[in-house]
Every structure is written in C-alpha cells, then in structure tokens.
C-alpha cells in the first residue's frame, strides 16, 4: 500500500465514541437496543437539509427509532426524485407516520448558491428548483432592504414551496383520500441559535393545501425573519 487512505486514529475515535453512546443508552434502558431491533414505529418523517451542522433527531430530543429521516441539499422535494418519493411512500404507507416536517435553515448554502447564481457543476441542476422559487417571488424579494434579508426570505419561501410539493405528491393525496391522518409542517432553523421555529403552515387535507396555495403569499408582506418562535 502506498499510504493510509484515512487517519486510522480518527476512525478509532469515532468507533470508541459509538461504544460509549451505546453503553450510556443501555445503562438507562438495558433492553433499548433489543426492542429497537424488532421494529420501528416512528410518528414523524423529517425532510431536511444535509448540512453537517444540523442533527435532526438528537436536536429535538428524540431517540433512534422515533423519527424517519430524509436529507438532501437544500431540503428539496422534487417529484422526479425517486429517492425522496420512496422514503415518503415507505414512511406514509408502511410506517404510517402522522407528521411530515419539512425543515430548512437560514444561511443554507444550497439556497445561497441558487440565489447568487453560482456555478458548482452537477448540483446546479438540482438547485434550479430554488431559482424557480426565487423568480416566482422576485418582486417581493426585491422589496426587502438588503442581501441578507432577501436570502433569509428565500430560505423561508423554499420551505413553503417544499411543503406544497409534499402535499402535491400522489403519496400524500392518496393517504388523505383514504382518511389517513397525516399532517404536513414547515419549520426553519437558525444555526447560530440552535432553535427551530414552526412557520405556522401546517396542512392536513387537500382543501387546506389548496387554501395555502391560494394565499401563500399574503405572507409576502410579513417582515423577514418574523417566523414565530
């Protein structure tokens, strides 16, 4: 071999940390992992950004097995993304989750790249969906006082658009049609605070989705960053 592919010591530290974590959980609940291995029954599906600074399950106080998770760059829900749709279908139809949370965050690198029309290669095609959102709300964004305010607002608008995209899937609409309890929520996170905020756009039926679409953007007059805590 011509050399190490990765630092062995770093990998060993990760494995040791994992063992300590497992031991701590077992000390509190000796049968925890035994129960966990038998099945999973989460109530939540989380669709969030892949940003390494966000740890969805632990940051909202949940344990392994309590939340199903899908993450990608800029927390997008594209109807051509078979990975995302497969996760959603399994979560809704097999696991019977009752809540889908779409969570974005301020300062999102993917949203910023789309906003700046930066060029990074393949990922630019993925981020094109955010640019569509930006152009859709261009006049409202231009009214904001500065770059940071416009970027923050685009992060919020991206969450709203993705909640709508979730609701527009046949997976969710079929669930509603058969009377399955399923709520869609939009959250946003500010990394510098470590706090999630509910954007108050919960949807639980096709009628509510239609109403949300029709007035989504009475919220254009709301000051950026004013999402309730």
Does residue 4 carry a catalytic annotation? no
Place of tokens 């399923």: 182
For residue 72 the two structure tokens come to 């990608």
- The number of angstroms, rounded, from the C-alpha of 126 to the middle of its chain's C-alpha atoms is 16
**How far is 169 from 166, CA to CA, in rounded Å?**
6
**How far is 90 from 100, CA to CA, in rounded Å?**
12
Does residue 103 carry a catalytic annotation? no
Does residue 204 carry a catalytic annotation? no
**How far is 54 from 48, CA to CA, in rounded Å?**
9
Place of tokens 């959250």: 187
Q: Give burial (CB, 10 Å; 0-12/13-18/19+) of 46.
A: buried
- Strand order from edge to edge, sheet including 99-105: 67-72, 44-49, 99-105, 183-190, 195-198
Name the active-site residue from 70, 99, 103, 108: 108
**How far is 62 from 60, CA to CA, in rounded Å?**
6
Q: Which of 96, 70, 74, 94 is nearest to 83 (CA)?
A: 70
Does residue 105 carry a catalytic annotation? yes
Does residue 108 carry a catalytic annotation? yes
For residue 161, what are the contacts with CB-CB under 8 A and spacing of at least 6? Answer: 133
Name the active-site residue from 13, 53, 79, 135: 53
Residues with active-site annotation: 49, 51, 53, 105, 108
């Amino acid at each position: 071999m011509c050399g190490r592919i990765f630092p062995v010591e770093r990998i060993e530290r990760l494995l040791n940390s994992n063992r300590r974590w497992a031991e701590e959980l077992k000390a509190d609940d000796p049968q925890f992992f035994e129960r966990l291995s038998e099945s999973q029954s989460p109530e939540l599906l989380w669709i969030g950004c892949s940003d390494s600074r966000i740890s969805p399950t632990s940051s909202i106080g949940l344990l392994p097995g309590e939340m199903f998770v899908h993450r990608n760059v800029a927390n997008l829900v594209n109807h051509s993304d078979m990975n995302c749709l497969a996760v959603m279908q399994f979560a809704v139809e097999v696991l019977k989750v009752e809540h889908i949370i779409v969570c974005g965050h301020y300062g999102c690198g993917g949203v910023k790249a789309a906003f700046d029309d930066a060029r990074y290669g393949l990922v630019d095609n993925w981020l094109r969906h955010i640019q569509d959102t930006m152009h859709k709300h261009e006049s409202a964004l231009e009214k904001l006082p500065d770059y940071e305010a416009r970027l923050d607002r685009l992060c919020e608008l991206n969450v709203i658009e993705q909640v709508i995209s979730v609701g527009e899937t046949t997976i969710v609409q079929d669930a509603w049609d058969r009377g399955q309890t399923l709520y869609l929520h939009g959250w946003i996170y500010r990394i510098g605070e470590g706090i999630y905020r509910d954007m108050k756009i919960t949807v639980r039926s096709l009628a509510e989705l239609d109403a949300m679409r029709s007035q989504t953007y009475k919220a254009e007059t709301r000051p950026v960053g004013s999402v309730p805590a």
